[in-house]
Chain A
Amino acid sequence: MTSLPPFQTLLDEHAADVMGVLRGAVGRSDAEDCFQETFLAALRAYPKLGDTSNLRGWLLTIAYRKAIDHHRANGRRPMPVAELAEIGVEDASPEDDGIWEMVGALPPKQRAAVALRYACDLPHAEIAAALGCSPEAARRSLHEGIKRLRKELA
Chain B
Amino acid sequence: MKTALDRLVDRAGTEGLLDVTYATIDSPFGPLLLAATSRGLVRVNLPTYDPEETLEELAARISPRVLEAPARLDEVRRELDLYFEGKLTEFDLPIDWQLTDGFRKKVQRAINRIPYGQTRSYTEMARSAGNERAVRAAGTACGSNPIPIVVPCHRVLRSGGGLGGYGGGLPMKEALLKLEGVL
In contact, B1 and A19 (Cβ under 8 angstroms) = yes
- Which parts of A34-67 form the interface with B (CB within 8 Å)? 35-36, 39-40, 43-44, 46-47
The CA of A140 and the CA of B12, in the complex, are separated in Å by 38
Q: Find chain A residues with CB under 8 A from B64 CB.
A: 3-7, 46-47
The CA of A46 and the CA of B17, in the complex, are separated in Å by 10
Q: Indicate whether A16 reaches chain B with its CB closer than 8 angstroms.
A: yes
Write the chain A residue with the least CB distance to B59.
A6
What is the minimal beta-carbon distance from A112 to any residue of chain B, in angstroms? 25
- Which parts of A84-108 form the interface with B (CB within 8 Å)? none
The CA of A4 and the CA of B1, in the complex, are separated in Å by 24
The CA of A40 and the CA of B4, in the complex, are separated in Å by 12
Q: Indicate whether B58 reaches chain A with its CB closer than 8 angstroms.
A: yes
Q: Indicate whether A129 reaches chain B with its CB closer than 8 angstroms.
A: no
Q: Find chain A residues with CB under 8 A from B58 CB.
A: 6
What is the minimal beta-carbon distance from B118 to any residue of chain A, in angstroms? 37
The CA of A58 and the CA of B97, in the complex, are separated in Å by 34
In contact, A44 and B59 (Cβ under 8 angstroms) = no
Selected contact of B4 from candidates A5, A32, A47, CB within 8 Å: A32
Q: Find chain B residues with CB under 8 A from A7 CB.
A: 59, 64-67
What is the minimal beta-carbon distance from A8 to any residue of chain B, in angstroms? 5
Q: Find chain B residues with CB under 8 A from A3 CB.
A: 56, 59-60, 64
The CA of A6 and the CA of B22, in the complex, are separated in Å by 11
Chain A residues in the interface with B (C-beta under 8 A): 3-8, 11, 15-16, 19, 32, 35-36, 39-40, 43-44, 46-47
